Structure 1
């Protein structure tokens, strides 16, 4: 039978509409905006709409880099809407990315039939449901222009799968394949309607076989993941860790769907999970009992995480009775439980680190503002045996402190001292490594462009890094690096090995470095929209930045409240962040899954570390 379908009229001048401004919805929007299409995003949440627009504005050029032969020379605009009717006016394509609840999707397509133009292509991003399951309230004419259009996680994975609803007009697929390629994605068409599309069915088969191998005691999770990693290193996907990450209860729920549909046996999959894991509360990463991996190896919720402690500094500025010595060192559990005030009476503490060998913490106190009376101290983790490492006045306003464990040295950024200094753990061998001016002169001391704040030392690169935040909220902040060894015949004020890692930053503060991924992280206290954020950039073997976006670095998390401290717990894929608003946050190393684990408006947090 000859198809009567025709492409939407004048589609290049009509908008693409995305329903849902969540993580994937905003990425879908960015894909189409990068191809030159004006995009509208509808979401009932004002916060989600704002975050979506910011994401598109920030990342559209990065997505555009995926397009080899760009049809439109300019990027499309982004508009957000609360009202569905307003959003879909004159649209040529609507992609729903609403929550994965079938009734919501059924109701959405019923509304689209009456609100969207009659020639508009209607697509579902769902991977859990066939689009035919969503069309119980629409006419046959509408069913003919509905399909599944499932994206994965752009821009890391620029794949989209297209699948019929069972009624979709065939010419639509070639049309959407061509449009998808124009937008820099790699389209794959499922030849018939299938739960799970193409890739998810491949993964489903691997998942079922892994569970069968485990139930037959052919292998163990560690060996299975190891051989997968070796054989599929380019994909870097590890099945047992993948299922633990999703959650074994979710794995079982999805597997039950396949079992019911295909008449499979549940003995070696869902029944096996139920008996050996779910009944024992072993749900994967979200469970303290672990999952396929024991707790000590489960990211984010392990025994190791439970045994670790967070040490965080309260500068004292928001204390009920603020004073020059209202600062405290607190011990907090990874779940956010305040366990103990380890030390009180601190003069504006700012930076903290822990030596895992000696089990001692080292911290800086800035002293009274305007007076050169900063100091560095150390103590046992319980607050006993306090020792002076750098005497008051030997540094002006010490900020972040970093430990070189191999060399047994500490590095400190001295803000109004306009310098970076280094010494042994007992305070001996004091050296000035960077000197930006004469701190005894008010003209130099008050020049915020010379203030040194954040600090990270990376022996594997032979370098240390520091931030100079610049004028408050001034977008002139810089991250610098220099060699651990000062060049011969050079001094702290004239060394020629200093490099700019990133510049024109809102107001960079503290630094941390992940050796495993060669990633430099920093907090930024600057102005919205890009300040008050957590950021990162990859570094090459020479310690130079490897930009991954047009901005030159990644903004991982935004909307903090005067962002200050951060520390990495790489064994548990976790980063902890503090702000002066009295909040401690926890997220994955990529900034995802951020949660506020502690909040107290009578505290103002600065440095943080995990021991």
Structure 2
């Protein structure tokens, strides 16, 4: 029977593996209007993959301009590949696992399905030596970089792949918003990876021979090419153990010397536990603040402030839109209690005059946000701003000196202020009309975080941009609106930062003169806590401003609160953890970890 390309009508694309790349690959295809099946034996991975798609598919679809398709997740292989026209494996980078996977696909996948590997290390010919010749004709390598930021995907033959498969895949990848490149022949490593591997080898040789330090290499690289990161930083982010494993494969296949690469890495770094950013011992660079091993319970030293933080309620088994909680925790992080429950997706939190103030986002698609308050023990709940008085309120802060509440209104496209009792509600910043569908759907208009610098008379706010889209911005304006202007026409708005992954909450240390913010965007710059000196912010120079990343490796960083008296900062993430750090980001401590999605946080002496 002659070879025929598969029909795609009413047939899914199947992705095997719901990890970092697998969930992105699935989102790519869904954003192109395709039906996608994602299979992962881990319930956690399946859940996180679904969550990633739900939060990001609209951003991907801005490129494809398609109505997104659907995603269905599976625990078992057979039902996930039933009737698939394309299967993409993203299983662990171990040859024996990939060989077993392709053997199973030969047995159970449709006989016309195109079978692809996302491997960057192994040739597909190494994965399919025992398959039938007719199956080998349908096997190819399809390696994605890191969508959506990097939309490059490289295609490569297994040596026996039918030539007509490649233009067919290129056509559909372009529909899904990708930028495909086709290698002319099979090779260990793709086009870019081979070039990058050579750079890594030479960088390691320069270090091992004592020619230059990692810092010198990276600074030179960044200045020469205008790159935000250098090759040594990238290797630390990947993990030096992973770098060594990949290089092992090249050494074995090409007969390369290991003296100044993997031998050097294993002797001077890996054997000493210096694996890169994921290690408390660091890697080519000293330890990154917030590395996982640094989480191993550092002692907490009470006394300290009492913590109050919000669980948005998104992981509740029933009625997640109305299961938010206010939680109080002791200074040592050992005890906690729920003060208020049944809230409609609470997000921002602060305390003043013995009362807790918080925002409820409500249902983001509706104009039903509100601001409430209660006594410090959770009793006497009162409405400050009723439902509909604010659309989707986010971070909230109290200006005790002037008895004012400041808060951002995300889908309402506003920064707002009112008295502590809700009176004198006013709009300070308006980025668009939320009744205008086009304006409201543009996430660059969404206001999220808010902070006040009373010393200079400014307030700062974030406009987060698309989820993990590197279009986030930070602005500032005068606390006093210029005469004869309003929230839409004021002339004192300054752009402070642009092209941030996804900035969220803000805090100001007035004593040291620092602006802090959390960023829930993608690594290496997102999922972080950041800081800049206020004195370094110059009018009209947003693109020139530099900031310090103090903490990395959070899980969707959100809430932030400073304790300048004790030299600490506290932060929350949607992964369900409350952290404490020194003000410079060092000495990470997990104060509290639980099943939940934590947002706003504040402190009480």
TM-score range for the pair, normalised by the shorter chain length: 0.5 to 0.7
CA contact (8 A) 2:332 2:591 kept: no
1:489-500 matches, cutoff 5 A: none
Query: Among 5, 9, 33, which residue is 1:7 paired with?
Result: 5
1:367 and 2:349 equivalent?
A: no
Shift of 1:178: 2.1
Identify the range of structure 1 (458-467 vs 79-88) with the bigger mean alpha-carbon deviation.
458-467
Relative to 1, partners in 2 of residues 1:316 and 1:145: Cα closer, same or farther, differing over 3 Å?
closer
Structure 2, unpaired ranges of 5+: 312-326, 341-349, 358-371, 377-382, 385-396, 408-414, 426-447, 463-472, 496-503, 510-514, 521-526, 531-537, 543-553, 564-568, 582-587
By how many angstroms is 1:108 displaced? 1.6
Q: Residue in 1 aligned with 2:421?
A: 439
User: What secondary structure is seen at the aligned counterpart in 1 of 2:331?
Assistant: strand
1:313/1:607 contact within 8 Å kept:
no
Instruction: Encode CA deviations 1:476-521: one digit per residue, 9 max, x unaligned.
Output: xxx998733413569999997899x9xxxxxxxx822699xx9965
Q: Does the C-alpha gap of structure 1 residues 597 and 117 become closer, same or farther in structure 2, counting only changes over 3 Å?
A: farther
Note the alpha carbon deviations across 1:113-141, whole angstroms, 9 max, x for none: 12211111000111122212221442111
Deviation by residue 1:307-340 (Cα, 9 ceiling, x = unmatched) = 999976334999xxxxxxx9777368xxxxx8xx
1:600 deviates by: 7.3
Give 2:290's aligned residue.
Answer: 300
Q: Which residue of 2 aligns with 1:41?
A: 38
Partner SS for 2:212: coil
* Higher gyration radius (CA): 1
Residue 86 of structure 1 deviates from its aligned partner by: 1.7
**1:564–1:607 Cα contact (<8 Å) kept:** yes
CA spacing shift, 1:495–1:535, aligned 2, 3 Å: farther
Q: Match for 2:151 among 158, 168, 189?
A: 158
Stretch moving more, 304-313 or 130-139: 304-313
Q: 1:212 to 1:106 in 2, by over 3 A?
A: same
Deviation at residue 368 of structure 1 after TM alignment: 5.7
> Of the candidates 467, 491, 505, which is equivalent to residue 511 of structure 1?
505
1:460, 1:184 → 2: CA distance?
A: 47
Provide the rounded CA distance (Å) in 2 between the counterparts of 1:461 and 1:122: 61
Which residue matches 1:196?
A: 189
Q: How does 1:53-72 map to 2 (within 5 A)?
A: 53-67=50-64
Q: Does 1:75 align with 2:61?
A: no
Is 2:398 the counterpart of 1:412? yes
Question: Matched residue of 1:272: which SS?
Answer: helix
On the 8 A contact 1:486/1:495 being kept in 2, the answer is no
Cα distance in 1, alignment partners of residues 490 and 263 from structure 2: 66
Counterpart-to-counterpart distance in 2, 1:290 and 1:498: 44
* Matched residue, 1:527: none
1: CA distance, partners of 2:172 / 2:10: 14
Partner of 1:335: none
The answer to whether the 8 A contact 1:285-1:291 is kept is: yes
Aligned-partner SS, 2:161: coil
Q: Does 1:112 align with 2:105?
A: yes
| Cα distance in 1 for residues equivalent to 2:375 and 2:160 | 73
Q: Give CA-to-partner distance per residue, 1:367-415, whole Å, 9 cap, x none.
A: 267999999xxxxxxxxxxxxxxxxxxxx99xxxxxxxxxxxxx73469
Deviation at 1:190, TM superposition (A): 2.0
CA distance in 2, matches of 1:121, 1:461: 62
TM-score between both structures, scaled by the size of structure 1: 0.60
In structure 1, the partner of 2:257 is: 265
Out of 68, 80, 84, the position equivalent to 1:91 is: 84
Rounded to whole Å, the distance in 2 between the matches of 1:189 and 1:75 is 26
What is the alpha-carbon distance in structure 2 between the residues aligned to residue 372 and residue 113 of structure 1? 61
Are the aligned partners of 1:162 and 1:188 in contact in 2 as well (CA < 8 Å)?
yes
The structural deviation recorded for 1:97 is: 1.2
Q: After TM superposition, give the deviation of residue 22 of structure 1 in Å.
A: 2.1
Q: Which moved more, 1:47-56 or 1:488-497?
A: 488-497
**Is the alpha carbon distance of 1:463 and 1:16 closer, same or farther for their aligned partners in structure 2, counting shifts above 3 Å?**
farther
The answer (yes or no) to whether the contact 2:310–2:600 under 8 Å persists in 1 is: no
Give the drift of 1:142: 0.4
Say whether the 8 Å CA contact 1:565–1:578 is kept in structure 2: no
1:464 is the counterpart of 2:459: yes
Paired residue for 1:487, among 481, 489, 495? Answer: 481
Alpha carbons of structure 1 residues 16 and 490: separation in structure 2 relative to 1, 3 Å: same
Structure 1 vs Structure 2 CA RMSD: 5.5
* Contact residue 13 and residue 37 of structure 1 kept, 8 A: no
> What is the alpha-carbon distance in structure 2 between the residues aligned to residue 219 and residue 412 of structure 1?
50
Q: Structure 1 residues 331, 586: closer, same or farther in 2, change over 3 A? A: closer
Cross-structure match for 1:330:
331
> How many residues of Structure 1 are paired with residues of Structure 2 in the alignment?
455
Equivalent position SS for 1:40: strand
Q: In 2, Cα distance between the equivalents of 1:168 and 1:586?
A: 54
* Match in the other structure for 2:551: none
Distance 1:108 1:465, change over 3 A: same
Q: Partners of 1:372 and 1:118 in 2: how far apart?
A: 62
The range that moved more, 411-420 or 154-163, is: 411-420
The equivalent position to 1:240 in structure 2, one of 232, 248, 262, is 232
Change (3 A) 1:535 1:95: farther
Q: Give the 3-state SS of the residue equivalent to 1:159 in structure 2.
A: strand
Partner of 1:276: 268
**Residue of structure 2 aligned with 1:291, choices 271, 283, 286:** 283
Q: Equivalent residue of 1:91, what SS?
A: coil
Q: Distance in 2 between matches of 1:56 and 1:302?
A: 25
Query: How many Å separate the matches in 1 of 2:262 and 2:269?
Result: 10
Distance 1:368-1:123 versus aligned 2 partners, 3 A rule: closer
Change (3 A) 1:223 1:455: same
TM-score by length of 2: 0.61
**In structure 2, what is the Cα distance between the partners aligned to 1:187 and 1:316?**
45
Alignment check: 8 A CA contact 2:571 2:601 kept: no
Mapped partners of 1:135, 1:186: distance in 2: 27
1:527-606 pair list within 5 angstroms: 565=560, 576-577=571-572, 583-584=577-578, 598-599=592-593
Evaluate the alpha carbon distance shift between residue 585 and residue 136 of structure 1 in structure 2; reply closer, same or farther with a 3 A threshold.
farther
- Please state how far the C-alpha of 1:74 moved relative to its aligned partner: 3.2
Q: CA deviation at 1:143?
A: 0.8
